[in-house]
Structure 1
Amino acid sequence: MAVYKEKNGKWYCQFMINGQRVHKLLDGADDITKAKKLEDAERYRIRLIQGGLLKEEKRYKLEFMANRYKERSKLLASYNDSVHQADEWLQFFGKNKDIKNIKPSDIEAFIRHLKERGLKNGSVNRRIAGLKRAYNIMIEDELINYNPVKKIKMLEDEGRRYRYLTREEWERFKKELSPVALAIVSVALLTGFRSRNVLHLRWEQIDLNLRTIELLKSENKGKKYIKIAISDALYNLLMTLNPKKSGYVFINPKTNQPFTSIKTAFNGALRRAGITDFHFHDLRRTVGTWLLTSGVDIRTVQSILAHSDVRTTERYLALTSEQNIKAMSVLNSYV
């Protein structure tokens, strides 16, 4: 039989044309009528190719595109997020899925799946943006010419989180961190660097004589060169870490490689300190908030955090309840 249905519920076709055996998944077929139509279309396509009237198009599996996306993301600060995103596509669509058979309706189903998992709109949008970039990489490499994600409308932003550590929370938190985790978190708070930049910080980037740390464009998510001053607290901390001429500042003793994450130690300390709804990236928001509420001008904070748009920095100016009350009390004398 040329068209048949497997136990997995999917339809396939199998036939011979001029000595060429064809065995193909009829992607999109949900009944025998549609399966036969797709089989007829496949027979017609192969006849055109055999007659030299149509150039056979190379097909690419999702796994191929995902690996290409991961490779291109290696130098990005968000590399770990990119890997996680790609793994989510593979799990949902299947690694052997032909990328040209992923339709906008399939991507909409993926979005519904993410929402059912409880992800917020912003998190969903980042995953869809990653998938769009993966297709664009394939287009740039002249492997395909179609991006189905372009037809997908991003979800409306539900509003950003503005979580940061209060001074009191930080005092509780640091008491629960292991010495290594405390050093890593402290460097994050004393530099404003993203997690990957802290975990992969190298001694070559640090000049203890001039008391500066630099990030090259390739190391920074915003593709900007950054040089920040080393404060007294940061200098004293770095001196306790056995400074070297080269190599990573933080080495995982279990792997003898730089840490890829300290999530277990980080979350465990938060739990013991009674702190909820806080992530490593919120340390950057903490730095921005502490600086701004201490009177540092917003342009300086923008430069330290390497924000391309000052409006991003303005989001970090999240006032505490106490500060709000103090600010609003100024109006008492006017009413």
Structure 2
Amino acid sequence: MPYKRKKKNKVEWIADVMREGKRFYRVCNSKTEALAWESEIRKTPVKELMIPSESLTLIEWVTKYLEYSKVKFAPYTFSEKRLAFRRFFKQVNPSLNVDDLQPVTALNYFRMQAEKRSGYAANKERKNLLAAWNWGIKYLNLPSPNPFLTERFPENRQPRYVPPENDFWKVYEILTGQSQIMMLAYLHLAARRSELYRLRWDDVDFAGQQVRIGTRKRLGGSLEYDWLPMTDELFNAMMIHRQTATNELVFPNPENGKPFTVRQHYLKRVCRRAGVKPFGFHAIRHLTASILAQADVPMVTIQRILRHKQLSTTERYIRGLEPVRPALEILSNRNSRPKVPTIYQIPKKQKSEAI
């Protein structure tokens, strides 16, 4: 049965048919069109629906995968996948038959990405292309093994910079209105960017002084919700914000009233204005965890606030090298080692002889 979805003020109808364990999707302009397509798919033999790989080009495979991805994934993830294919087709002919794509071609493309950008960027391209081909193997009868199943490239990833709490408040103080309240929400809810971007007033329960946070950072990409209490400070700020709000979104893009998508350089610019070292939105989430840990909040409680499924993920957020420190201190507290004086501890007479 078709279902509708509102995207960018446009209503789309999604036709969705399951045939012999395989799912077929299509984005339609109307319910009538979606119903007609579903009816046609149900009447067509499955063998005819499965396009032989010999007649499929790379661009046809990608087009079908992106149609599926547009329905399946969040807008940010869909955009990431689409950009990956654009880069890929700058190096590889999109009219190439899928059977003619060789692993060495994929490897050379990843190598170029590693050289021009980074090993991390190459591995990210590999992840997206690998997933798309696996989808094609399952639904489009693409050849196996997957040509994108190459070795990963070495990554030189720097540890995430987490600002001192004072720097956060310096940034907070120079902001006004919605931007300032949004910064407070990042800190007091330990929220991810996308979680605040999609937050609606329906998700804010003023009577219960709590907020419903939706995340896709779970298995399968389905949107899951958790309720978090609002601090008194955040509650008061949200109450004031609600009185002047005219949008169903709590934090809409003021330029168009729609959800934010990417604000890649915004916070960096604000940090420079505040005279502090630039940090990202996700670093605020780490800062929240760090503040709670320093206040001796139990790890399980921090896990619930961060909404991690695994406690080990929370521990990685806040512990770092700290568990190693007491162990290393054992080495400096050993009294059985020989007392070796430094050059500054040698008596003057002995020092002159030594020299």
Give 1:196 deviation, angstroms: 1.3
Identify if the C-alpha distance between structure 1 residues 171 and 193 changes in structure 2 by more than 3 Å, giving closer, same or farther.
Answer: closer
Contact 1:195–1:281, Cα closer than 8 Å, also in 2: yes
Q: In the TM superposition, what are the counterparts of 1:136-215 in structure 2 within 5 Å?
A: 136-146=134-144, 148-149=146-147, 151-158=149-156, 161-177=159-175, 179-215=177-213
The separation in 2 between residues aligned to 1:147 and 1:279, in whole angstroms, is 39
Deviation per residue, 1:208-227 (Å, 9 max, x gap):
111222235xx422255422
Q: Closer, same or farther in 2 for the Cα pair 1:170/1:110, shift >3 Å?
A: same
Q: Equivalent pairs: percent with the same residue?
A: 19
Q: TM-score, normalised on structure 2?
A: 0.65
Q: In 2 relative to 1, CA 59–80 (structure 1 residues): closer, same or farther, beyond 3 Å?
A: closer
2:40 matched residue in structure 1:
none
Give the conservation status (yes or no) of the 8 Å contact 2:111–2:122: no
Cα deviation, residue 174, structure 1: 2.1
Contact between 2:170 and 2:274, CA under 8 Å: does it hold in 1? yes
**Amino acid corresponding to residue 106 of structure 2 in structure 1:** I
CA contact (8 A) 1:251 1:259 kept: yes
Q: 1:184–1:199: 8 Å Cα contact kept in structure 2? A: no
- The DSSP-based 3-state class of the residue aligned with 2:137 is helix
Q: Does the CA-based 8 Å contact 2:119-2:153 persist in structure 1? A: no
Q: Which moved more, 1:78-87 or 1:286-295?
A: 78-87
The equivalent of 2:313 in structure 1 is 312
Match of 1:271 in 2: 272
SS at match of 2:296: coil
Q: Tell me if the contact between 1:78 and 1:221 (Cα under 8 Å) persists in the aligned partners.
A: no
CA contact (8 A) 1:65 1:134 kept: no
- Going from structure 1 to structure 2, the CA distance change for 1:307 and 1:279 (only over 3 Å counts) comes to same
Q: Distance in 1 between matches of 2:250 and 2:192?
A: 15
Q: Deviations over 1:159-209 (max 9, x none)?
A: 562321211211222234454333323222221222111111111222111
- What is the deviation of 1:69? 5.7
Residues of 1 paired with 2:177 and 2:112: CA distance? 40
Match of 1:281 in 2: 282
Residues 70 and 78 in structure 2, CA contact (< 8 A), matched pair in contact too: no
Partner of 2:3: none
**Are residues 285 and 89 of structure 1, via their aligned partners in 2, closer, same or farther at CA, if it must alter by over 3 Å?**
farther
1:257 counterpart SS class:
coil
Amino acid at match of 2:226: I
Q: In terms of mean alpha carbon deviation, does 280-289 or 245-254 score higher?
A: 245-254
User: Relative to structure 1, is the Cα distance of residues 57 and 111 closer, same or farther in structure 2, using a 3 angstrom cutoff?
Assistant: closer
Task: Summarize the Cα distance change of 1:210–1:151 in structure 2 as closer, same or farther, 3 Å threshold.
Answer: same
- Answer 1 or 2: higher relative contact order, Cα 8 Å, separation at least 6: 1
CA gap of 1:65–1:178, structure 2 versus 1, over 3 A, is farther
> 1:228 aligned to 2:224?
no
Gaps of 5+ in 1: 1-54
Matches within 5 A, 1:59-70: 59-62=56-59, 63-65=62-64, 67-68=66-67, 70=69
Question: Is the alpha carbon distance of 1:289 and 1:56 closer, same or farther for their aligned partners in structure 2, counting shifts above 3 Å?
Answer: closer
User: Which residues of structure 2 form unaligned runs of 5+?
Assistant: 1-51, 336-355
For residues 95 and 79 of structure 2, what CA distance do their matches in structure 1 show? Answer: 23
Q: In the alignment, what sits opposite 2:88?
A: 89
Alpha-carbon distance in 2 for matches of 1:66, 1:89? 15
The residue identity in structure 2 corresponding to 1:249 is V
Q: 1:177 to 1:264 in 2, by over 3 A?
A: farther
Give the aligned residue type for 1:113. Answer: M
Pair 1:185–1:99, CA change in 2 (3 A): farther
TM-score by length of 1: 0.68
> Are the counterparts in 1 of residues 290 and 318 from structure 2 also a CA contact under 8 Å?
yes
Contact 2:201 2:248 in 1 (8 A): yes
